[in-house]
Amino acid sequence: MLPNGALDAIPLWAVFVLTGILVLAAVEGGFALGRHRRTRAAEEQAGAVGTMVGSTLGLLAFMLAFVFSFSSARIDGRRTALIEEANALGTTYLRAGIMPEPHRSEIRRLLREDVDAQVEGFQILRTAHSIARVDTIHAELWRHATALGRENPNSIVVGVFIQSLNDVIDYYAKRLMTARTRVAALVWFVLYTLTFLAMFAMGYHVALTGTTRSPAILLVALSFALVICLVADLDRPHEGHIRLSQQPMMDLQAMMQTDNR
C-alpha cells in the first residue's frame, strides 16, 4: 500500500500530462473495442449503453467532488491551526516577560527560534529539518517551565505561563496533524481507476453510435486533467501553486524581532 501523498514524487505538471494521457488512452481503447463490437454484435443498443455510461460519469463526478471538498477543507483546517498556534506563541512570549531571570531571556530566545524555524522551514521546504528543530526547542522550553514550577510551586503567574506554553505545544501538534492529513493513496487509486473506466465507457459508447472521434475529446481530457491537477495541488501543503499564507507567523516573527532590539 502506498503512503498518503502518494503523488508527491510526481511534479504537478507531470500529474497534468499523465492524467491527460490516461484519459485519451482510455477513450481510444473504449472506441477501439466499441468499433470491434459494433461489427460483430449488432444487437447491442447504443441507447442502453449510453445510460450506463451516464451513470458511470455521474459516479466519477461525485468522486471528484468528494475529493475536491476534502482537499479544500484541509486548507481551512491548516489555516485555523496556524492562527491558533501563532496566537498561543504570542501569548506565551508576552507572559514570559514577567518570568524571573535567567528563565525570561532564555524562554523568549527559544520562542523566537521556534517561530524562525517554522517560517524558514515553510519558505525553503525543509520540513523535516524544521520539525526536528522545533521539537528540540519545545523540549528546552518545557525544561525551563519545569524549573520554574519547582522554584515557584505556589505562583499563579508561573502556572498561567506554563498553561500557555502547553497550549503552544498542543497547537503545534494539531498543526502538524492537519498538514499530514492527506488524500489517501487508496482514494487516489479509486479516483484514477474510475476515471479510466468512465472514459473507456464513453469511447465505447461513441463507437457504438457509429460516429467518428471528435476533437472535443481533447477538451474532455484537458478538463479532467485540470481538475485532478487542482486537487493534487490542494493536497500538497508545502508546495504547488495554492499555498497557505504564513502571514500570521511572519507578523509574530516581526513583533518578536522588534521587541528584542
- Is 242 a residue whose pLDDT tops 90? no
Q: Are 260 and 111 in contact (CB under 8 A)?
A: no
C-alpha cell at 63: 468522486
Domains contained in the chain, number:
1
Question: Does residue 1 sit within a domain?
Answer: no
- How far is the C-alpha of 99 from the C-alpha of 151, rounded, in Å? 11
pLDDT confidence band for 1 (50 / 70 / 90): very low
* pLDDT, the chain, mean: 83
Q: Is the dihedral of CA 16, 17, 18, 22 positive or negative?
A: positive
Residue 215, domain member (yes or no): yes
DSSP 3-state of 193: helix
What are the φ and ψ backbone dihedral angles of 226, each rounded to 5 degrees? -65, -45
State how far the Cα of 151 lies from the Cα of 153, in Å rounded to an integer.
6
Q: What is the pLDDT of residues 137-155, one digit of tens each?
A: 999 999 999 999 898 888 8
Residue 114 has what DSSP assignment? H
Percentage of the chain lying above the pLDDT 90 cut: 20
> For residue 4, is it within any domain?
no
**Which H or E run includes 76?**
helix 46-96
Residue 2 included in any domain: no
pLDDT of residue 2: 42
Q: Report d(CA 39, CA 207) in Å as an integer.
A: 10
Which residue from 188, 190, 220, 183 is spatially nearest to 59, judged by alpha carbons? Answer: 190
Give per-residue pLDDT as tens, 48-104.
677 788 888 888 888 888 888 888 888 888 888 889 999 999 999 999 988 888 888
Would you state the pLDDT for residue 126? 58
* Maximal CA-CA distance, the chain: 90
Mean pLDDT of 195-211: 83
**What integer pLDDT is reported at residue 40 of this predicted model?**
65
Confirm whether 7 is domain-assigned.
Answer: no
User: Would you say residue 236 lies in a domain?
Assistant: yes
Whole domain around residue 161: which residue ranges? 12-259
Does residue 5 lie in a domain region? no
pLDDT at position 261 = 60
The answer as to whether 133 is a domain residue is yes
